């Protein structure tokens, strides 16, 4: 198994982790890695039925249920939907979460995606990891700095393309066929989000849409049935060039593109 390791999956909204990265997270859990999840925004505007406050409560309960099922440590959201911005107050809050968890590897969303909440979540996460070791940088709330290597990885965007519809390709993929049933079960915990996407984006079967994305990634890039794609963040300021914990821990299911 190797030495004890901690992974943090940090995304924008409740269900983003399950949609684009939880197969990899489940495989890390099987490999002996302690896993944590944090959705930076609370999903408060994702309903045509509930009030803003009730929607946030329901989405949090669904996210907690998914985390329990995955065996992950759940961390509460920090912002409302449409309230993710790359600014100093937000970065101080996100850095506090990263410092409290002290991860060895961080999974986050693509820097290029179909909506800005996702892009801001990726920027805040990667910058917060960079700030982990700055002793004079004060977080909100204050959490002491730590200085150890941390590797950051970005998932593929939800539609496998950026805002201009240009494709975003992975550096490598993780074969998640062995955990697809569990990945489906985790996404199914987000009942209110399924209803919202059916009504507003015409997504149809929410879980099958996720599975189709995994099938596309597997066929295009991995020569396998289901996969999740990853791009490694520049190591400078984070870790050494050879520190690749995701590739090392999941070498048996890694497919290079």
Per cent of the chain over pLDDT 70 is 94
6-256: CATH topology is Rossmann fold (3.40.50)
Q: What is the CA radius of gyration of the chain?
A: 17
Mean pLDDT for the stretch of residues 131-142 = 98
d(CA 18, CA 185): 9
| pLDDT given for residue 207 in this prediction | 86
Q: Comparing 2-6, 53-57, 81-85, 198-202, which segment has the lowest mean pLDDT?
A: 198-202
d(CA 65, CA 100): 22
- Within 71-144, residue ranges assigned H as helices are 88-101, 116-130
Q: Burial level of 14, CB count in 10 A (0-12/13-18/19+)?
A: buried
Q: Burial level of 21, CB count in 10 A (0-12/13-18/19+)?
A: buried
| pLDDT given for residue 139 in this prediction | 98
Q: What is the pLDDT of residues 144-170, one digit of tens each?
A: 999 999 999 999 999 899 999 999 999
Q: Comparing 96-110, 119-133, 202-216, which segment has the lowest mean pLDDT?
A: 202-216
d(CA 156, CA 173): 10
Task: Give bridge partners of residue 105 from the DSSP assignment.
Answer: 7, 151
How crowded is residue 202: how many other Cβ atoms within 10 Å of its Cβ? 7
Q: Where residue 211 falls among pLDDT bands split at 50, 70, 90?
A: very high
Contact 53, 46 (CB under 8 A): no
Give the orientation angle of helix 180-187 with respect to helix 22-30, to 10 degrees. Answer: 120
Mean pLDDT for the stretch of residues 14-43 = 97
d(CA 187, CA 191): 8
Q: pLDDT at residue 2 above 80?
A: no
Q: Which two tokens stand for residue 214?
A: 């995994």
d(CA 58, CA 226): 30
Q: Where residue 223 falls among pLDDT bands split at 50, 70, 90?
A: very high
Residue 20 CA from chain centroid, whole number:
7
């Amino acid at each position: 198994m190797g030495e004890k390791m901690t992974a943090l999956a940090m995304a924008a909204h409740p269900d983003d982790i399950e949609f684009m990265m939880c197969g990899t997270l489940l495989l890390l859990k099987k490999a002996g890695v302690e896993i944590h999840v944090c959705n930076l925004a609370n999903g408060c505007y994702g309903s045509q039925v509930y009030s803003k406050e009730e929607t946030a409560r329901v989405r949090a309960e669904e996210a907690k249920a998914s985390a329990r099922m995955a065996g992950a440590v759940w961390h509460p959201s920090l912002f409302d939907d449409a309230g993710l911005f790359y600014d100093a107050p937000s970065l101080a809050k996100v850095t506090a979460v990263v410092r409290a968890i002290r991860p060895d590897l961080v999974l986050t969303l693509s820097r290029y995606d179909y909506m800005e909440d996702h892009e801001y979540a990726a920027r805040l996460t990667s910058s917060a990891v960079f700030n982990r070791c700055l002793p004079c940088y004060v977080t909100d709330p204050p959490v002491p700095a730590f200085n150890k290597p941390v590797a950051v990885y970005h998932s593929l965007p939800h539609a496998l393309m950026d805002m201009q519809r240009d494709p975003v390709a992975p550096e490598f993929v993780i074969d998640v066929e062995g955990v697809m049933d569990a990945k489906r079960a985790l996404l199914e915990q987000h009942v209110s989000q399924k209803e919202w996407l059916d009504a507003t984006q015409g997504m149809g079967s929410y879980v099958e849409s996720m599975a189709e994305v995994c099938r596309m990634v597997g066929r295009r890039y991995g020569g396998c049935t289901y996969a999740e794609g990853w791009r490694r963040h520049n190591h400078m300021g984070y870790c050494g060039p050879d520190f690749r914990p995701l590739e090392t821990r999941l070498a048996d299911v890694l497919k290079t593109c």
